[in-house]
Amino acid sequence: MIEVENLSVRYGTAYAARDVSFFVARGVSFGIVGESGSGKSTVLRALAGLSREWSGTIRVGGETVAPVRDRAFFRRVQMVFQDPYGSLHPRQTIDRALSEPLLVHGIKDIEPRIAAALAEVALPPDTRFRYPHQLSGGQRQRVAIARALMAGPEVLLLDEPTSALDVSVQAEVLNLLSDLQEKRGLTYILVSHNLAVVAHLCARIGVMQGGEMVEQLTADDLRAGRTKHPHTEALRRLSVELEETDAQHGQAA
Amino acid sequence: MEVIVDNLRIAFPSPSGKVEAVRGVSFVLGQEKLAIVGESGSGKSLTARAILRLLPRAAIITANALRFDGIDVLDADESTMRRIRGGRAGLVMQDPKFSLNPVMTAGAQIAEAWRAHRGGSRKLAREAAVDLLAQVQIRDPGAVADRYPHQLSGGMGQRVMIAMMLAPDPELLIADEPTSALDATVQAEILRLIEDLVQRRGMGLILISHDLPLVSHFCDRVLVMYAGRVVEECSAGELARARHPYTRGLLECLPILSEKRRRLAVLRRDPSWAAA
- Model confidence over A131-186: pLDDT tens digits? 999 998 889 999 999 999 998 999 999 999 988 888 888 999 999 999 999 999 99
Distance from CA of A94 to the nearest CA of B (A): 22
> Is the model's pLDDT at A116 over the cut of 60?
yes
Residues of chain A contacting residue B238, judged by C-beta atoms under 8 Å apart: 250
What secondary structure letter does DSSP report for B272? Answer: H
What's the Rg (C-alpha) of chain B? Answer: 19
> Confidence class of residue A249 from pLDDT cuts 50, 70 and 90?
very low
Q: B232-261: per-residue pLDDT in tens?
A: 999 988 887 888 999 988 888 888 888 888
Phi-psi region of B268 (alpha: psi -120 to 50; beta: other; left: phi over 0): beta
ipTM over 0.85: no
Query: CB-based burial of residue A192 (10 Å sphere; 0-12 exposed, 13-18 middle, 19+ buried)?
Result: buried
Distance from CA of B127 to the nearest CA of A (A): 31
Q: Check A35 against B185: CB less than 8 A apart.
A: yes
> Confidence class of residue B187 from pLDDT cuts 50, 70 and 90?
confident
Give strand pairing partners of B29. B3
pTM: 0.85
- Closest C-alpha among B185, B267, B228 to residue B36: B228
Q: Check A223 against B188: CB less than 8 A apart.
A: no
DSSP string, A95-114: HHHHHHHHHHTT---HHHHH
Report the distance separating Cα B26 and Cα A57, nearest Å.
Answer: 61
> Is the model's pLDDT at B268 over the cut of 70?
yes
Please name the residue of chain B whose CA is at the shortest distance from the CA of residue A199.
B257
Report the distance separating Cα B130 and Cα A163, nearest Å.
Answer: 33
Query: CB-based burial of residue B98 (10 Å sphere; 0-12 exposed, 13-18 middle, 19+ buried)?
Result: exposed
Average pLDDT over residues A194-198: 92
Residues of chain B contacting residue A232, judged by C-beta atoms under 8 Å apart: none
Average pLDDT over residues B94-123: 90
Q: A197-220: per-residue pLDDT in tens?
A: 999 999 999 999 999 999 999 999
Query: CB-based burial of residue B195 (10 Å sphere; 0-12 exposed, 13-18 middle, 19+ buried)?
Result: middle
Report the distance separating Cα A144 and Cα A87, nearest Å.
Answer: 8
- Determine contact, residues B188/B227, Cβ cutoff 8 Å: no
- Closest C-alpha among A140, A212, A153, A236 to residue A188: A153
Q: Check B239 against A245: CB less than 8 A apart.
A: yes
Range of the domain at A201: 2-252
> Is the model's pLDDT at A71 over the cut of 50?
yes
Residues of chain A contacting residue B266, judged by C-beta atoms under 8 Å apart: 168, 171-172, 175
Report the distance separating Cα A183 and Cα A147, nearest Å.
Answer: 17
> Confidence class of residue A253 from pLDDT cuts 50, 70 and 90?
very low
Per DSSP, helices labelled H in chain A are 40-48, 71-76, 84-87, 94-104, 110-120, 137-149, 167-184, 195-201, 219-224, 230-243, 247-252
Interface residues from chain A to B (CB-CB < 8 Å): 35-37, 136-137, 166-172, 174-175, 178, 193-197, 199-200, 219-220, 222-223, 234-236, 238-247, 249-251, 253
Q: Check B184 against A193: CB less than 8 A apart.
A: yes
Q: B66-80: per-residue pLDDT in tens?
A: 999 999 999 999 999
- pLDDT score recorded for residue B108: 95
Please name the residue of chain A whose CA is at the shortest distance from the CA of residue B42.
A166
> Is the model's pLDDT at A246 over the cut of 90?
no
> Is the model's pLDDT at B52 over the cut of 80?
yes
CATH of the domain at A219: 3.40.50.300
Beta sheet of B221-226, edge-to-edge order: B89-92, B172-176, B204-209, B33-37, B221-226, B229-235
The pLDDT mean for chain B works out to 90
Q: A5-49: per-residue pLDDT in tens?
A: 999 998 888 889 999 999 999 999 999 999 888 889 899 999 999
User: How many domains in chain A?
Assistant: 1
Q: A220-240: per-residue pLDDT in tens?
A: 999 999 999 999 999 999 888
**H/E run at residue B145:** helix B141-145
The two beta strands, B19-29 and B229-235, are: unpaired
Can you say whether the dihedral through the CA atoms of B75, B76, B78, B82 is positive or negative? negative
Q: Check A168 against B188: CB less than 8 A apart.
A: no
Give strand pairing partners of A129. none
For helices A137-149 and A94-104, the axis angle rounded to 10 degrees is 20
Report the distance separating Cα B256 and Cα A242, nearest Å.
Answer: 10
Count of Cβ atoms closer than 10 Å to residue B116 Cβ: 14
